[in-house]
Structure 1
Amino acid sequence: MTHSRQTRRHRGRGARERILAAATELFTAQGINATGMDQLSKAAEVSKRTLYTYFGSKDELVHTYLQELRGHLPQAAGPSDEPTQSPREQLLAVFDPKPRNTAAPVRGCHFLNASVEIPDPEHSVHRLAATHKREFARRLSGIARRAGVSNPEALGEQLALLYDGAAARGTALNSSHTSACARSIAELLVDTALAEAGPPTRT
C-alpha cells in the first residue's frame, strides 16, 4: 500500500469521527432541527460533499449519532452491570447525578429529545429512540428480577418513567437537581418492592 493511500484512509476515518463528534456537540447544545448540514460540515472541518459521502442524509446522520450513543454513554446504555453492586444499588445508580463540566443548558435525555423533535412514530429515528426506551425498561426489569421483587416488569416500567420524567423536568428547568429528587422516589419504590417480596428464599 502506498503512503498516499494510507494517508487517505487515515483522513477518511478522521473525517467520520469529526462529523459524529460535531453532530453530538451541536445536536446536544441546540437540538437536531436547529442544526443544519452547513453548520455541521464547518464544525467538523469537512466539505459538504465529504459529509454526504459518509452520511447520505441528515436522517442517516441522526440515526448513526443515536446508535453511537447507545453504546458509549452510561446514561444512554442504562444501569451499571458492576458486579460489586447489589441489584438494589444498580437500580438506584441510574439516578445518580452525572458530573457536569459545562455551563451549557441541561439537555436531559438525547433519546427523548430526538423523539420530540422527530414526532413521526414511523420515522427511523423515532423508532430507534422508542426501541432504546423499551430496552432500558427491560434492563431495569431484569435487575429488579435479580433483586427478587415479585413484579419486576412493573418496577422496571416505574423506574424508567421516573428517569424520563426527571430528565424532561431537568431540561425544562435547566437543572440537574431533578435526578436527586428522582433518586429519593426510586428508593421508596425499590425498597417497597423488596419489602413486599420478603427475605430471599434459602436453598
Structure 2
Amino acid sequence: MSTAATAPQRRGRGGRERILLAAAQLFATQGINTTGMEQVAEKAPVSKRTLYAHFRTKNDLVLAHLQDLVSSGATLESVLTREDIPPRERILGLFDLESSDHPPADASPVRGCPFIDAAAEFPDPRSAVHSYAREQKLRMVRLVTALVTELGCREPTELAEQLVTLADGAAGRAMVLDEADYGRHARAAAEILLEHALTTTRER
C-alpha cells in the first residue's frame, strides 16, 4: 500500500499537469530540496493559490512527482513490465539509461534513478518520500525476480538482487559522471550473470 498522501484534485486547465512538468524539470536540474514552491509556480506557470490547491505541501508535490514518473513509464523499472519484449531483454533494458529518467524537454544533466535521488534528499527512512522510494526499489527486485524465475534460473532472488544492484550502481555512476550511456558497462556484467545462471540451470 502506498505511503503517499493524496493531493486534492480540482478541475482546471491543465494546471496540475503543468505543475508536475515544471517540478520534474526543476528537480532534475537543481535537485528537490533546492527547488522552492515559488519557482515551480513561476515555471508552470500558475498562481501560488493554484499550486497549493493541488499540492498542499512540498512533500505532497514530491510524492506526486514520483508517482507521475511511475505512471508515465519514465523510470528504469518501467521496462520490466513491458509485455512486448522477452524477459531477458526486459532485464537488460534496465541498463539503457539513455532512454529513462529524463523529464520531458530536458536532455541534461543525467540524473540517474529518481528514487535514489529522492531518498538521498529525504534521508529519514520514516519520511513519506523515502518510504515511497523504498517501495519502488523493492518492487523493482520483485519484478526482476519474477522475470529470472520465468527464464528458469535457479536461486532467482539472489540473482535478482545482483542485477538490480548493478542497475542502481550504473545509474548512480552515470549521474556522477554525467554520462548517459554508462549503463553499457553494467549491461555487459549482467549478460555474464544471466548466461552463467542459464548455463548452470541447463547443466543440472
Please, what TM-score do these two structures have when normalized by structure 1? 0.87
Give the gaps of 5 or more residues in structure 2: 1-9
Q: For the residues of structure 2 that align with 1:195 and 1:83, how far apart are their CA atoms? A: 25
**Contact persistence 1:78–1:139 (CA under 8 A):** no
| 1:28 is the counterpart of 2:28 | yes
Give the gaps of 5 or more residues in structure 1: 1-7
Q: For the residues of structure 2 that align with 1:102 and 1:78, how far apart are their CA atoms? A: 19
Larger radius of gyration: 1
Change (3 A) 1:46 1:85: closer
Q: For the residues of structure 2 that align with 1:83 and 1:90, how far apart are their CA atoms? A: 9
| 1:196 is the counterpart of 2:200 | yes
| 1:88 is the counterpart of 2:88 | yes
Identify the residue that residue 44 of structure 1 maps to in structure 2: 44
Q: For the residues of structure 1 that align with 2:129 and 2:23, how far apart are their CA atoms? A: 14
Shift of 1:91: 1.4
Identify the residue that residue 150 of structure 1 maps to in structure 2: 154
Q: For the residues of structure 2 that align with 1:150 and 1:137, how far apart are their CA atoms? A: 16
Q: Aligned-pair RMSD on alpha carbons?
A: 2.0
Shift of 1:13: 4.5
Please, what TM-score do these two structures have when normalized by structure 2? 0.86
Q: What is the percentage of aligned positions where both structures have the same residue?
A: 42
Change (3 A) 1:84 1:52: closer
Shift of 1:155: 1.1
Q: For the residues of structure 2 that align with 1:171 and 1:163, how far apart are their CA atoms? A: 12
Alpha-carbon deviations, 1:57-115, whole Å to 9, x = none? 00000001101111212534433444453322221122124248855211111111000
Identify the residue that residue 111 of structure 1 maps to in structure 2: 115
**Mapping of 1:1-203 within 5 angstroms?**
9=11, 12-83=12-83, 85-99=85-99, 103-198=107-202
For 1:55, the aligned partner's letter is F
Alpha-carbon deviations, 1:98-141, whole Å to 9, x = none? 24885521111111100001100000000000000000011001
For 1:183, the aligned partner's letter is R
Q: For the residues of structure 2 that align with 1:72 and 1:82, how far apart are their CA atoms? A: 13
Change (3 A) 1:55 1:102: closer
Q: For the residues of structure 1 that align with 2:61 and 2:81, how far apart are their CA atoms? A: 29
